[in-house]
Amino acid sequence: MSRTARVERITKETEVLVEIDIDGTGKAEISTGVGFYDHMLNQIARHGGFDLTVRTVGDLEIDAHHTMEDTALALGAAFDQALGDKAGIRRYGSATVPMDEVLVRAAVDLSGRPYVVHDEPVLAPYIGPVYPTSMTRHIWESFGQSARITLHVDVLRAARPGGHPDAHHVVEAQFKAVSRALREATAIDPRNAGVVPSTKGAL
């Protein structure tokens, strides 16, 4: 059964198209107008093993908030739609990912109950010209809400002793960790073929 989805989200602030194939090979075509965000969404595809297309046109003349938020909402909705009734999946996934001096842990439960916990240190306000680091938490909250998942993202180590966090490394390690956790959680469990992994019988 194909685990694919196409989601369009159109408002007065943004127009977003997301297409995803859960069982892909990591191919990505990403364009949001926010260069660092494009780089992060490419991590979702590559390290998650998902084929992902994202095309967003937003009101960047104001700021990047609406563009980033609405893209995350559409991406989460696409994940939820592609997974269907979630029969046969592993459901849980976790990953601890290093990136030089940074160490991040992500854990996910494709539970149908949206809940997001995010812990990171104070970072420089921007990465590149238009990616506000304050939006990273909101990206995970928006994605988790629309994907209907429980998601924990914890930055366990952010800097060398006496140093300052490298915002690029801290955020990128988060996206890589979440990608690897999603890859594990969405994988088909051969010991659970065709069965929804819940004693309730539904997720």
pLDDT in tens, 138-196: 999 999 999 999 999 999 999 888 889 999 999 999 999 999 999 999 999 999 888 99
Q: Distances from the Cα of 50 to the Cαs of 14, 23, 121, 176, in angstroms?
A: 24, 6, 29, 13
Chosen CATH of 4-186 out of 1.10.3720.10, 3.30.230.40, 3.50.50.60, 3.40.50.300: 3.30.230.40
| Predicted confidence (pLDDT) per residue in 63-114, tens digit | 999 999 999 999 999 999 999 999 999 999 999 999 999 999 999 999 999 9
| Structure tokens belonging to residue 118 | 């995010």
What pLDDT score was predicted for residue 24?
97
| Structure tokens belonging to residue 6 | 């196409």
What pLDDT score was predicted for residue 202?
87
| Structure tokens belonging to residue 86 | 């979630």
* Residue 149, number of CB atoms within 10 A of its CB: 27
| Structure tokens belonging to residue 100 | 């030089």
Q: How much is the CA Rg of the chain, to the nearest whole Å?
A: 16
What pLDDT score was predicted for residue 162?
84
Instruction: Return d(Cα 106, Cα 152) in angstroms, integer.
Output: 6
In the predicted structure, residue 1 carries a pLDDT above the cut 80:
no
Instruction: Return d(Cα 15, Cα 58) in angstroms, integer.
Output: 6
Map tokens 């991406």 to a residue.
Answer: 75
Q: Long-range CB contacts (< 8 A, 24+ apart) of 108-111?
A: 108/149, 108/150, 108/151, 108/152, 108/178, 108/181, 108/182, 108/185, 109/149, 109/150, 109/185, 110/83, 110/86, 110/147, 110/148, 110/149, 110/185, 110/186, 110/203, 111/148, 111/149, 111/150, 111/203
In the predicted structure, residue 131 carries a pLDDT above the cut 90:
yes
pLDDT band at 197; cut points 50, 70, 90: confident
Domain boundaries, the chain: 4-186
Local structure of residue 113 (DSSP, 8 states)? S
